[in-house]
Amino acid sequence: ARFDRHLFRTRSTLLQGYLEEADANLAALRQAVKHEQLPQVAWLAEHLASQLEAISRETAAWSLRQWDTAAPGLGRWQRRRIQHQEFERRLLAMTQERKIRLAQATGLVEQQTLQKEVEIYEGRLARCRHALEKIENVLARLTR
Q: How many domains does the chain have?
A: 2
Rounded Cα distance between 35 and 31, Å, is: 6
Q: Are residues 78 and 39 in the same domain?
A: no
Q: Are residues 142 and 85 in the same domain?
A: yes
pLDDT of residue 58: 83
Q: Are residues 108 and 143 in the same domain?
A: yes
Confidence band, pLDDT 50/70/90 cuts, at residue 65? low
Residue 114: Cβ-neighbour burial (10 angstroms; 0-12, 13-18, 19+): buried
Rounded Cα distance between 77 and 92, Å, is: 22
- Range 69-84 average pLDDT: 81
Q: Are residues 144 and 74 in the same domain?
A: yes
Residue 41 pLDDT > 80? yes
**pTM (2 d.p.):** 0.50
Phi/psi of residue 52, nearest 5 degrees: -65, -35
pLDDT of residue 29: 94
Closest-CA residue to 46 (of 19, 17, 76, 6) = 6
pLDDT of residue 71: 54
Say which residue, 5 or 46, is predicted with more confidence: 46
